[in-house]
A and B are shown apart, each in its own frame.
Chain A
Amino acid sequence: QVQLVQSGAEVKKPGSSVRVSCKASGGSLRDYTITWVRQAPGQGLEWVGRITPRLGIENHALKWKDRLKLRADKSTRTVYLDLSSLTSDDSAVYYCARENRETYHIGWLDPWGQGTQVTVSS
């Protein structure tokens, strides 16, 4: 049974960058897509992007432009989210989740990591 374990909370200055990691425990990420979702304080869920490690394919919302980069290290079963030029609007809990699919090219998210709090403050 795969579990996703995320890195710890981060406090960053505006304009800096952050890296959040998501490691698969008890299984491999190789055949799956990992999705990132974030949740600002008191707000709903926002899809950030996804990466398929086996294919090296990344998709993310257009709003991120060049600020977001998703990476995968297959040898350590770890996926990384790198976000640059941080502003206070990026303060949120960032979740990773495994995407499951049957015949369609997008699917459902299960399981989820425990979440990583990112706080951007001067």
Chain B
Amino acid sequence: DIQMTQSPSSLSASVGDRVTITCQASQDISSHLNWYQQRPGKAPNLLIYTASNMNAGVPSTFSGSGSGTKFTLTISSLQAEDAATYYCQQFHELPPTFGPGTKLEVK
């Protein structure tokens, strides 16, 4: 199975800050990478698909980039409602695997 890692595992930032989360795959996955946001007690929500495509309704402050083995999720201007855990997921091959998550706290 393809292993996914994320860094940092948690972070705390202030409203208006720029935040970057990194996801790394154990092998080349091309651009077959998705990002999800999960607020406490809720189901995950798709943010970015195929590395850089924004899902409908997602604020333009979110963006994704990368290919191969290294990917980033960037929030350009942090809002209070962005407090959540963020997961990357590879869909290069079965089984699709998720990263361990990055918990984002908004100060």
Contact = CB atoms under 8 A, between A and B. Distances in A.
Contacts of A113: 43
A108 B49 contact: yes
A107 B91 contact: yes
B93 A112 contact: no
A68 interface: no
Interface stretch (A13-21, A39-47, A70-78, A79-87): A39-47
Which secondary structure dominates where chain A touches chain B? strand
Given A44-B98, A106-B93, A115 B32 contact: no
B21 to A, nearest CB: 14
A61 interface: yes
B55 A44 contact: no
A105 B43 CA distance: 24
A114 B43 contact: yes
B62 interface: no
Contact-residue bracket for chain B: 20 to 34
B98 A45 contact: yes
Given A44-B101, A112-B44, A104 B32 contact: yes
A97 B98 CA distance: 15
Nearest to A45: B98
A1 to B, nearest CB: 10
A35 B49 CA distance: 16
Contact of B97 (A47, A95, A110): A47
Contact of B43 (A61, A95, A100, A106): A95
A114 B36 CA distance: 15
B61 interface: no
Interface of B: 32, 34, 36, 38, 43-46, 49-50, 55, 87, 89, 91-101
10 pairs of A and B residues whose beta carbons are closest in the complex: A108-B49, A110-B46, A106-B91, A112-B43, A45-B98, A108-B34, A44-B101, A61-B95, A47-B95, A47-B96
Interface of A: 35, 37, 44-47, 59, 61, 95, 97, 100, 102, 104, 106-115
